Amino acid sequence: MTEPTKDIAAKLQHPRRSLGNRHRSQAEKFLSLSETDSSNLLWAEQSARQAVLHDFTNPDNWRVLVRIKLNVGDHAGIHAVLNDLFAVLGRDPVYLTQLEGVDMSESGMGILEAALVADPLDPDDWWNGISSDEGSILSFIERVGMLDMTDHRANILFSRRLERLRDSGREEDYLKLARVLLAQRPSNHEAWSALGRMHERRGEYDQAWLCYDQAQSNFPEFLVRDQFRERMEAKMDGRAPTPWKVPEVTQRVEFLKRMQKLSMSPSNDVRDDVVPDISGNTDIFEEVAHLRSEGRSSEAFFLARRMAAEGIDGALELVEEIRMEISDE
């Protein structure tokens, strides 16, 4: 049971800036040496890939990788790098259309630079660029609902952006968009915990518990739910007129139902907008299997958690199976 949680932790860790810088320096060194010995381009590319792997938030790591691809003449590789960058940026259709029928030897670097300027990877640079323009902020809020943030890097990137939005005082927007983010990748225990802290600070204790429960369920070694319960017991023990209680099953089910509905991609033409009813539904396991077969793992996860909340036999094992599946994506 420890290995899956380690995998999740590894995928959700903050980008390692120092390692990224080290590998980029190596890449630049090999790129320089390739002027006299082209065999160094292979080492340069490997180092550049490692730089992006360790720190996808540093634009210089992407730049050096594309430069090396240009030197190699790997135009298909440049296309792949840009497509990967756009996955980090939420697969915005505006960006993806720029890759259609383009000569990467001439336009690849230009497309990269335009994307990095328009949508900075550093959350502080991004926020500084839009914070003084209400129209840009509203455009971002609207755009989040249309993006694909299932890639774990995109989920981390947009989590950080939402933190900047929250810290600016736009708490309601943060609460709304954080759920959109988590509906697409429910294994992001850090974002669940941050959302729980926001609800706890606002005195919305049932919602806080539900978020902490999601965080700890996805990463059992992350004991935020247990710690929250201890805080509440210490706070209310004998001093509160109405002691706090863990939310009823019906509240948990409604919460999970809302999350499942949020996880339904608007681009999925074959789906049904109606969240299936569990009670008395003998085909519910088939519904979960159907969602998984279509790659709709987040929907399957929330449906399985609803089943577990209602005490359906075999649901807990199914939740764990899907959780591991999502963590490997």
Model confidence pLDDT, tens digit, residues 93-152 = 777 777 788 888 888 999 999 999 999 999 999 999 999 999 999 999 998 888 888 888
Please state, in angstroms and rounded to a whole number, the distance separating the CA atoms of residues 301 and 179.
Answer: 15
Residue spans per domain, the chain: 2-120, 124-236, 249-327
pLDDT recorded at residue 225: 85
Average pLDDT over residues 305-310: 76
CATH number of 124-236: 1.25.40.10
For domain 2-120, the question of CATH label 2.60.40 is answered with no
Q: Using N-to-C axis directions, what is the helix angle for 152-167 and 2-12, rounded to 10°?
A: 60
pLDDT recorded at residue 258: 65
pLDDT recorded at residue 246: 64
User: What is the separation, in whole angstroms, between the first and last Cα of the chain?
Assistant: 18
Tell me if 2-120 shares its fold with 124-236: yes
DSSP-assigned letter for residue 97: G
Angle at 114 between CA 162 and CA 67, to 5 degrees: 110
